[in-house]
Amino acid sequence: MRKRDLEEIKKKLMADRERIMRNANKTYDHITNPNTDDLNDEGDVASSEASQTLNLRLRDRESMLLSKIQKTLKKMDDGEFGICESCGNEIRTERLKARPVATLCIRCKEEQEKIEKGFAD
């Protein structure tokens, strides 16, 4: 992989990490310091709780992505980035630009999905 491509992907990962951390901090602030002035009746309270539940679900998904980002950045630092964890071949740059946290090449990912689909049937 070209150094320029690697730097571009790393920059994207770091920006994603920062965005996730900002979102997590906003959610934490909103939960720990709720604006109770807007909660005038039971409907408002229910709506607020539903919104908080949705935000927590989104933050949970982002937390999983954050973990993948951290692992990917470590792989970059260790010189292991872009290598398929299944077959050991290089993952194409186009795939890594589209999905920087990818750990499998297209061929191995398709095989994994076929296996998973077989279990789902």
Q: What does the pLDDT read at residue 35?
A: 64
Q: Which helix (H) or strand (E) holds 104?
A: none
| Domain housing 38 | 1-79
Q: Are 65 and 10 found together in one domain?
A: yes
Q: What does the pLDDT read at residue 75?
A: 97
Q: What does the pLDDT read at residue 111?
A: 96
Calpha distance 10→30 (Å, rounded):
30
CB atoms near residue 29 (< 10 Å): 10
* 103-to-56, 62, 81 alpha-carbon distances in Å: 26, 18, 9
Q: Are 4 and 62 found together in one domain?
A: yes
Q: Are 70 and 115 found together in one domain?
A: no
Q: Are 106 and 57 found together in one domain?
A: no
- Angle among Cα 85, 7, 26 to the nearest 5 degrees reads 90
Q: How confident is the model at residue 36 (pLDDT cuts 50, 70, 90)?
A: low
Q: What is the pTM of this model?
A: 0.75
Calpha distance 89→111 (Å, rounded):
15
Q: Are 38 and 65 found together in one domain?
A: yes
Q: How confident is the model at residue 59 (pLDDT cuts 50, 70, 90)?
A: confident
As for how many domains the chain has, the answer is 2
Q: What does the pLDDT read at residue 79?
A: 93
Is the pLDDT assigned to residue 33 strictly greater than 80?
no
Q: How confident is the model at residue 96 (pLDDT cuts 50, 70, 90)?
A: very high
Query: Helix-strand-coil percent breakdown of the chain, rounded to 5?
Result: 75, 0, 25
**Taking every pair of C-alpha atoms in the chain, what is the biggest distance, in angstroms?**
59
